[in-house]
Amino acid sequence: MDDPGLRTLQAREAKRMARLKFALIFLAMAVLMDVAVAVAVLRGNAPPTDLTIIVLAIITAGLAVLVLALSPGADAQRLGNSPGRRDREQSARTRQILSVTASSAVLSVVAVYCGRDVMQGGSDFPSLAMVMSFTIVVATLPAMIMGWDGAGRKAKRYIDDELTRAFRARAMITGFWVLLPGMIGLWLFGLWRPDQAVALMPLALWAGAAAACLRFGLLHRAAERDE
């Protein structure tokens, strides 16, 4: 495959992956809305109309079909069999980690406000769902660095070389040294304002995980430039 053909194939796959990510995000949001509606129906708290339920079901089904339509196809197989797959897998992995880190910043702020609602006695589903979503995402960030997530295990033979393992170690050390003073500061602050300290913990947790991800991404980008 010549270079122009390879670049064209890479561009098509990049567009497909971008569309797939957006479709997955909207599908997850639709599923959360479906769960919230189901909880409202079970509790009898302002139950939605039949039209609302039908519209949500159609949207969820449509997004599920879109995700299936955007699943890897012939282009992905051709690209996987072309030369230089290791570099492409590592570059795509770095972009994925950095994008998830950036998007989770908003979730950490939302988790602060939702956590306050829960501590004040609120047990509504949206607040609990946001808190649980944050705990999953903040745990996923270091798991992505270590290659423990599904995509990382699938591409392990391409992204688990000696250099990447060294980058992982340096990144996790950076995350530790950001997380430690943050949690110490919150503990000292919590001696006087315990409720506010607990509510602000998502920011410290995200900062530690984000620092590790950012260091990992920067190390990989620097290695790519040197090559």
Residue ranges per domain, the chain? 130-227
Q: Which CA distances in Å does 187 have to 10, 101, 178, 190, 200?
A: 48, 25, 15, 5, 11
User: How big, in percent rounded to 5, are the helix, strand and coil portions of the chain?
Assistant: 85, 0, 15
Give the span between the Cα atoms of 213 and 113, in whole angstroms. Answer: 24
Ramachandran category for residue 122: left, alpha or beta (phi over 0 → left; psi -120 to 50 → alpha): beta
- Give me the pLDDT at residue 2, please: 46
pLDDT digits (tens, 9 = 90+) for 107-144: 888 888 888 877 877 656 667 777 887 888 888 888 88
Taken in order 41, 36, 32, 30, the sign of the CA dihedral is positive
Q: Does position 227 have pLDDT exceeding 70, yes or no? A: no
Q: Does position 193 have pLDDT exceeding 60, yes or no? A: yes
The answer to pTM > 0.75 is no
Task: For residue 1, name the pLDDT band (cuts at 50, 70, 90).
Answer: very low
Question: Which long-range contacts (C-beta less than 8 Å, at least 24 apart) are formed by 155-160?
Answer: 155/89, 155/93, 158/85, 158/86, 158/89, 158/90, 159/86, 159/89, 159/90, 159/93
Give the span between the Cα atoms of 102 and 110, in whole angstroms. Answer: 14
